[in-house]
Structure 1
Amino acid sequence: MESLPPTPILGFNPDTLRDVRRQFDLDDVAKIHESVDLIEAWLQKQDYHVKKDYDRKHLERAIIFNKGSVEKAKSKIDNICRFRALHPKYFGPITREQRLLYPGIIDCILPKMTSEHERVYLLRNDGKKFEHGLFYYYKYLIALAEYAQAHDYNNGVIAIFDYMDVDLFELFKLINIVEMQLGMMILTEGFGMRLKGLHILSKNKGIDVIVKIFKQALSEKLANRIQVHNSFDTLYDYVPKNLLPVEYGGADKSLRTVSDNNLDEITSEKFRQHLTRMSEAVTNEKLRQSDEVNTDYSGVPGTFRTLTID
C-alpha cells in the first residue's frame, strides 16, 4: 500500500506508514512485497484453508501486526481461520440491536493515535443491572478487530476500562470466564492484537476482584501491565490527554458520539458484507494433518499462560 487513507472512525499520523514499517525493518517496499508473496504461496499449499485469495493489504497488515514476522503472520492467519471454523457464532455481522443490549457499556476505538502510532480502545461501563450475558459484547469487540485488520496500521493497542460508576457486584455476577478467555484468545492469538497496556479506572475497593478475573484471562506478561487508576490524572501518564474524549479532559468529541460513530461503521451495509465474506475464511479441520495441530482451540485451555502478547 502506498498510503493510509483515513476511515470514518480511524485517523493516522502523517508518518505512521513510514515509522511503523521502519520499526519492523520493512521500510524497503520490495521486502514487503516479498513477504506478502511468501504468505500467498503458503496459502496455496494449505489444502485445509478454504479461502486463499486475500487482499494483499490484508496480508501486509497481518505481517505488521506480527512485528514484521512472516512466520508469525502465517500462524495467526491459521489460528483465526480455525477459530472461525470452530466458533462461528463469534464472527460475522452484528446488528445494532444486539450491541445495544448493553446500554450501560459505551465503547469505541478512539480516532487519533498516540505519537508512537498506538491505537486506543476505551470502554465505560456504568451499568447498574445486566439482564443479558456479555456474548454480543464480545462479538462486537471481535467485529472491531476485523475492522482493524481491514483498515488499521498500528504499533499496538492500549485498552482503557472505566469502571468508576459500575455496580461491581452486578458485573462480577455477569462475567463468564470461559467466554472472556476465548474472546481474548481470538483477539491475541487470532488477530494478533498487540496489547501494550490495560488501564482500569475505579475508586471501588472491590476492583481487586475484577482485576483477578482479568488476570485469569491474560498472559503473565500482560497481567503485569494492568494499571488501576482512581483518577484521570494518573491515566495521562500513559495516554496523552488530548487524545481522550472531552469528558476525560481531552480535546476529542464525547465518548457517546465517538461510540455511535463506531457503531454506525461496524453495522453499515458495506462492512456487514465484509464480515460475511470473512466468515468464509475458515479451515476444514478434516483435511489438516494431525501433526500440524499445535493447540486445541475447540475449547478453552485450562491455562492461559501460554499466550504470547507483546
Structure 2
Amino acid sequence: MNSFLKWGIGVVAMLQLVGCGNNSSTGSKEINANPPTVTAAALQGNLTYQDVLELGATIHNLMMTDDARQVWVGTNAGLYSSAGGGTWGSLSTDLEQYAIEGWFVDPDDPKRIFVGGIDGVLHSTDGGKKWTSVNKGLPEPANITSFVGNRRGDEVRLFAFVSGEGIYQSMDGAQSWSLWQPMDQEVFAMDFDPEQDRLYVAAQFSLLYNEEGQWKTEEIPGAQQIYSLAINRRTGTLAVATEKGIYEKIKGEWRLLDARSPEKLIVIASGGEDTKWVGIGESALIYKLEDNRWVKWNE
C-alpha cells in the first residue's frame, strides 16, 4: 500500500497512493491472502523508532506480521522492523539507499522478498542478505510509487505503479514486466484482493478497482479524501483511511468504524492475531486496533 507521510510535519501527500482490496468481505471468513511473513528472528535491534524516523524521513507504508509481534515500515531510506524491547532494526543495509514504496514476501518461501521504489524493483532469495535488480520491461528510470504482490498456486503476481505511465505487472516473479493498465492519474496505494481477484487502487481522485480490464469507481459515503487502503489478510475485509476516519466494506456496504483513533490515521494495514488493523497517524505514531479500541503500539 503506498501512501506516504512526512514525519515531523505530519503532512500527507494526499494526491498519491495506491491500494488493493475489496468487496465481498464478510469480516469473518478466513482466507489465505498475501501475507508479509517476514519475521527476521535474527534481526538486531540497535535503533529506536525515533532513529528510524530520522533516518527514513518519510514513511511510505506499514505491515504487521501474522503473529502481531513485529511491525515493518518502508521508508525513504530502507525497510525497518520492530525487534522487541522498544528497539528497531534494518532488514538490510543495502536497502538504506532506496526509498521502499512497497514489498512482498512470498508466503511459500519467506526468504524470497521483492521490494519496489523509485529505483525500480529489487529481489532477494536469502531473506534480505543479497539483492538483485529485476527491472526487465520497466521504464528507465522506473519511478515506482506503489508496489504489491500476491501468490496464487505456483504463480507470484506483482503490480508496480510507475508514475506518469500506469500499472505494470509481472506474472513470473519479476523476471519480466509489462504495462498492464495505463493510468492518467497518480496512484498512492494499492492492494490485491485474492478472493475477488481484483486490484484496488487509491488514486488521485477516487478509489478504483479493475474488473475485466475496466476501471470502476468505489463510492465511500461521506469521505472525500482517501489516504491509503488495505485488505485484511485473514478475513478479506477492505479498509480505507480517510479524512473522516477508517471505513470498512462488509458484505458490500461501507461503514465508518465506531472506534475513534487518537489522531487522524494516514496509513492503514492488516493486523495479526487479535489486532484487526494497524495504522500510522499524522504524528508518525503507530496504533493498533484491538477489542474495538485504538491503542498506541509500544513494542
- Which TM-score band applies after superposition, normalised by the shorter structure? under 0.3
More helix by share: 1
Give the structure with the higher percent strand: 2
